[in-house]
Amino acid sequence: MEKNQEELATFAGGCFWCMVKPFDELPGIKGIVSGYSGGHTEHPTYEQVKTGSTGHYEVVRITYDPEVFPYQQLLDLYWPQIDPTDDEGQFFDRGSQYKAAIFYHTEEQKALAEKSKSELEQSGRFQKPIVTEILPAAPFYPAEEYHQDFYKKNPEKYKQERVESGREEFITNNWK
């Protein structure tokens, strides 16, 4: 009997439009879905989530083959996409729905996420505390179709969003 070669990883890093491309089209990545997780409203809409009243985070759910792309590599790719010291959102996206978080699906993922966060804290890269949350996976709701693969459907708007939000500059200055 062949082992199931697919696992899930869920990351919040501010606007989900900017969190798909870094993980997309890499060996072992089977799919990425933008959506909402961590809140109390069932089947929320974007209009509801963006108010900040549902408790949901904007997230990307990644289906991956751990034999080809281990979870540790996902973490190594996740951290440099965010400002891990910001507990009010990410870049110009403010509010709880834009906070950074790692949602773990297994105890192994939890341990690896906690270890990677601790290593980042010990590295001295940032003067401020690392506040990115590590939370148990919660029900996931896919975002509306127009949010999926946004960077492919709207490449100019995607580039503009990364620059105007301050994300591009932050990554360049802090994650060389």
DSSP result, 43-75: S--HHHHTTT-S-PEEEEEEEE-TTTS-HHHHH
SS3 content of the chain, % helix, strand, coil (to 5): 35, 25, 40
> What distance in Å separates the CA atoms of residue 105 and residue 9, rounded to the nearest whole number?
7
pLDDT digits (tens, 9 = 90+) for 58-101: 999 999 999 999 999 999 999 999 999 999 999 999 999 999 99
pLDDT digits (tens, 9 = 90+) for 108-167: 999 999 999 999 999 999 999 999 999 999 999 999 999 999 999 999 999 999 999 999
Domain edges within the chain: 7-174
pLDDT category of residue 176 using cuts at 50, 70 and 90 = confident
* Catalytic residue selected from 8, 9, 12, 15: 15
Is 15 catalytic? The answer is yes
User: Which pLDDT score, from 0 to 100, does residue 2 have?
Assistant: 52
CB 50 within 8 A of CB 94: no
pLDDT category of residue 56 using cuts at 50, 70 and 90 = very high
**Secondary element (H or E) of residue 10:** strand 7-13
User: Which pLDDT score, from 0 to 100, does residue 4 have?
Assistant: 66
Residue 3 in this model has a pLDDT that exceeds 80: no
pLDDT category of residue 1 using cuts at 50, 70 and 90 = very low
Query: Higher pLDDT residue, 82 or 176?
Result: 82
User: Which pLDDT score, from 0 to 100, does residue 39 have?
Assistant: 97
> What distance in Å separates the CA atoms of residue 129 and residue 141, rounded to the nearest whole number?
30
Q: Which residues pair with 59 in a beta bridge?
A: 12, 35
Residue 52 in this model has a pLDDT that exceeds 90: yes
Helices 107-123 and 71-78 meet at what angle, rounded to 10? 40
User: Which pLDDT score, from 0 to 100, does residue 49 have?
Assistant: 97
Q: pTM score, two decimals?
A: 0.95
> What distance in Å separates the CA atoms of residue 162 and residue 171, rounded to the nearest whole number?
10
Domain 7-174 in CATH: superfamily?
Answer: Peptide methionine sulphoxide reductase MsrA (3.30.1060.10)
CA angle 34, 40, 44 (to 5 degrees): 45
Task: Extract long-range pairs of 157-166: CB within 8 Å, 24+ residues apart.
Answer: 158/17, 158/18, 158/21, 161/15, 161/17, 161/18, 162/18, 164/92, 165/14, 165/15, 165/18, 165/90, 165/91, 165/92, 165/93, 166/91, 166/92
